[in-house]
Amino acid sequence: MRCRQILQQKISDDAPFDAAQLREEILAKLACLFAEDLAQDAGSELDFYECQFLRAFSFLRISAVRRATREAKRLAPVPQPSEEDGDGDTTDEECLARVHEVYRSEPTHEHEVERRRIANAVESLPDDERAAVVLRYACGLPVASKDPDEETVAKRCSVAGRTIRNRLRAANAKLKDLLKEEK
């Protein structure tokens, strides 16, 4: 019960993954570790879980949460422009799609050079454009919404949705030029 209470406090239900399921997986893993320990019959030898239980339980919890968060980010859908985001104008968002991939995918050694190039290019954008790009493609927020309670890029930047779309268009053009120059 104590472990269940700790998990309930530490793993919030508003996490980007199924928190209740993860808490149950952690408890199941803990039960398996205890069962393995009993089955090995190590005698009077104390293991890490017996000596430093709370610390070991924290390691188990943290590694499970990190794994679930990485998986949730990896499976996050690429944001598609909605009907209300469009103003009849279609923009070539190739560079912005690459930005989305850089910020939302799990880091790998093979793609590290490309990741660094794109991250540096995004960092070189003007503040307002960089904020729009990061909020839209890294955080996955919609540009604008008719729902007044929904968190959007336009709300965060305190401007209209059309302004954000213009900033994204300008950022895309600059990123194209920057990434073309670096090749």
Q: Where are the domains of the chain?
A: 2-75, 94-182
**Cβ(91)–Cβ(172) below 8 Å:** yes
- 13, with CB counted inside 10 A (0-12, 13-18, 19+), is exposed
Percent of the chain surpassing pLDDT 90: 14
30-79 pLDDT, tens digit each: 888 777 777 766 555 556 566 677 777 788 888 888 888 877 766 555 44
d(CA 82, CA 167): 17
Task: Count other C-beta atoms under 10 Å from residue 145's C-beta.
Answer: 18
Q: What would the two tokens of residue 103 be?
A: 């910020």
pLDDT level of residue 162 (50, 70, 90 thresholds): very high
Q: Which CATH number fits domain 94-182: 1.10.760.10, 3.40.50.300, 1.10.357.10, 1.10.10.10?
A: 1.10.10.10
pLDDT level of residue 19 (50, 70, 90 thresholds): confident
pTM passes above 0.85: no
d(CA 36, CA 47): 12
Percent of the chain surpassing pLDDT 70: 69
Phi and psi at residue 59, to the nearest 5°: -60, -45
Helix or strand run (H / E) with residue 51: helix 48-51
Of the candidates 83, 79, 112, the one whose C-alpha atom is nearest the C-alpha of residue 97 is 79
User: 132: Cβ–Cβ under 8 A, 6 or more apart, which residues?
Assistant: 153, 157, 164, 167, 168, 171
pLDDT level of residue 91 (50, 70, 90 thresholds): very low
More confident residue, 56 or 134: 134
More confident residue, 109 or 113: 113
